[in-house]
Amino acid sequence: MKTIYVDNNATTRVAPEVLEVMLPYLNEFYGNPSSMHSFGGNVAHKIKEARAKVASLINASPDEIMFTSCGTESDSTAIHAAISSVPDKKHIITSRVEHPAVKNLFEHLSKKGYRVTFVPVDRKGMLDLDYLYNSLADDTAIVSIMWANNETGMIFPVQEISQVIKTKGIVFHTDAVQAVGKLPIDVSKSEIDMLSISGHKIHAPKGIGALYVRKGTRFSPFLIGGHQEGGRRGGTENVAYIIGIGKASELAATHLEEMATRVEKLRDKLENELLKRIPNAIINGDTENRLPNTTSISFEYVEGESILLMMDELGICASSGSACTSGSLEPSHVLRAMGVPFTAAHGSIRFSLGIYSTEDEIDFIVEKLPLIIENLRTMSPFWK
């Protein structure tokens, strides 16, 4: 049975070109980049090249890029760096629809004495900018707002936000994990202080990430140890994976146009055909202001988990907007924040396409999913 993978916002396939450049640094070129000998020095040179490639993807300077283990570490590093730099400031701001890497950290900090403002969104998932700007205070240490939402694909105006935040002298961080590689990003045209990247969202392996830190931004290391990463993150470098994210970044830059054209057209075809064939189906979020690869569709009066299980039997891999797979029957915090009705939010499915998605795969989903929904609804006591 063929796997039809439309869950690219969860993770992506490692690109063959990425694996190819990584393999020599897992066996043949194993030197420590901090060593004085040329065997290690050659490895250090490859890390330098990779850093430049990641920087180029977002138009940053190479020395503004530090490597981490993942997007979550990048988020935690940025947030901890900001609050550590101004220990007298105890107010922090984020949105109600952040990824758990940010949301859960802010909730944790609220138990440590920080006053947290969670900025609401409207029914389309758009951020309430007036609420955000009116929440800024003299003791605000950091504002962290994601660039694009992982569930709905909604894009937030982080460049505009960064300009306003800059005038207040407050650090601004954005979790750009879902945006990098899908949208053109130019940090030189913004006032973003720190920006998080995850390798496995752009066809690098899991276990590698990056953090952009604008020159002049006050920074306190999260991992304290050796001199690596310019003293910003101790620990011997994950060489092969760093080389991998470098190559993935290089490839991502060449795929931006394809994401905005072919992949977006496939997404639109999937969405339009499903809405045409399945009654009581609802798009979650603004259909204009979103990532080109993502659609979140609620199928009323059925459970998202049941839909996923039946699709899985056909080899279709997607994600649910409900947290039921983690033992809870509550819809996701994103859909709840948007005010999506329970009967719809509970049956929400996220489809996230990628550069390896094909039209044949979309046709297969369009053929099979209406039958799945129809069968599930016949068993639902709420469906009439």
> Residues 70-81: pLDDT tens digits?
999 999 999 999
Q: What span, in angstroms and rounded, lies between the C-alpha atoms of 96 and 8?
A: 23
240 vs 73, 317, 330, CA distance in Å?
18, 28, 40
- Please say if 70 is a catalytic residue: no
Residue 354 clears pLDDT 60, i.e. is over it:
yes
Cα(249)–Cα(199) distance, integer angstroms:
8
Domain chopping of the chain, boundaries: 4-11+255-377, 16-251
Set 324, 337, 340, 373: catalytic member: 324
Give the position of tokens 């003299």: 138
The neighbour count for residue 110, using CB atoms within 10 Å, is: 13
- Whether the per-residue pLDDT at 373 is higher than 50: the answer is yes
DSSP string, 172-209: EEEE-TTTBTTB---GGGS--SEEEEEGGGTTSPTT-E
Using only the alpha carbons of the chain, give its radius of gyration: 21
| Tens digit of each residue's pLDDT (9 = 90 or more) over 134-178 | 999 999 999 999 999 999 999 999 999 999 999 999 999 999 999
Regarding pTM above 0.85, the answer is yes
Tell me what the mean pLDDT of segment 96-120 comes to.
97
Q: By C-alpha distance, which of 101, 107, 320, 316 is closest to 201?
A: 101
Domain 4-11+255-377 matches domain 16-251 at the CATH topology level: no
Mean pLDDT score, 306-334: 80
4-11+255-377: CATH homologous superfamily? Aspartate Aminotransferase, domain 1 (3.90.1150.10)
Q: What is the pLDDT of residue 326?
A: 46
Is the pLDDT assigned to residue 34 strictly greater than 70?
yes
- pLDDT for 384 equals 60
Show the CA angle centred on residue 228, arms to residues 170 and 64, nearest 5°.
Answer: 40
What whole-number distance in Å separates Cα of residue 242 and Cα of residue 235? 13
Which of these CATH numbers, 3.40.1390.10, 3.40.50.1100, 3.40.640.10, 3.40.630.10, describes 16-251? 3.40.640.10
Alpha-carbon span 277 to 369, nearest angstrom? 9
DSSP run (H or E) holding 141? strand 140-144
